[in-house]
Structure 1
Amino acid sequence: MELWLEEGDAWALLARKLGERFAWAQLPPVARTDSGKPWFPQYPQCHFNLSHSGGLALCGVGEHPLGVDVERVRPRREGLARYVLSEEEYAWFTLRGGDWGSLYTLWTLKEARVKCTGAGLRQAPRSIAVPLLEPGQTGILDGLTFRAYAGEGWRAAVCSAGPEPLQEALEDGK
């Protein structure tokens, strides 16, 4: 699996990186599953996912279904953590001081999971189970492998349905 994080457009980043990897002049046609997950009908063995937030673009490509999410850390409405986190997650979040970075770490793990499985956010966020990870850690839950990332002002996560190793670090996206 490969992950790329940089400033810019996620689709342009994906096109450039896959062009380099496969010598594609342009991205092949993209289709979407019923839940909206993009895929290449001509290359179903090439799994990819992308995310963008506040000018940052994150792309992941691998041999197995995967989901990625990146978020700029910024204050949100009070009470959001209680709404999106399970009781166990909320306790973990509170133990870390209840800071926005910790909330975004959990949120990106949740987004990555639903994007990997193709389920989308069709259920209450607090019911989407993820491992309790600090940035830089990897964990396994329900047969899925997760990794959390962090940089100055951002959090990101990847979730993979395959045994491939997850990338150790991402560049700071600046």
Structure 2
Amino acid sequence: MSRKHNRKYNRSFKKNVLDDNGQISKESKAELMQRLNEAEKERHPGLTAAENKVLAGTWIQAVGTLLEAQGVTEEYLITVAEEGEEGLEAERQAVFGIWLQVIGSFLGAIGAWQQLSIDEEIQRKGLKLGIIGSWFEAFGAASEAVAETQGLIEGEEEGVLP
């Protein structure tokens, strides 16, 4: 930190802080609030390059997962229309898992955005939301993996591979 920067925050108040009654003067309160606001702006001047990448990545992932879920759902619905629902339990579970991942991805993206707030309470809420989103993604991925494994096993037993 430069000397000039240090002097800015270490200088004395323009007027006496306490008035004749020993109370903090209105001018001192106003000056202190102005200094705190300036210091807060300097502490959080904008997003760093790394923060921008994290935020962009979480939103790209969320949108990508949404597109995947839409495509898989369309494939499932076409298969149901052509062949009926019988024997498609694994595929239905896989679709369910992918949609859980979509929910988790969007919760994670919103949480990442909130974590960049200046307000510490919003940051904390964002962290919690991101954690909840990660659990949704994990459960959805596990559900999809179990379903895909079951589908593979059934396909091998029937001699039909995708």
- TM tier, smaller: under 0.3
Higher helix share: 2
Higher strand share: 1
Highest RCO, 1 vs 2 (Cα 8 Å, sep ≥ 6): 1
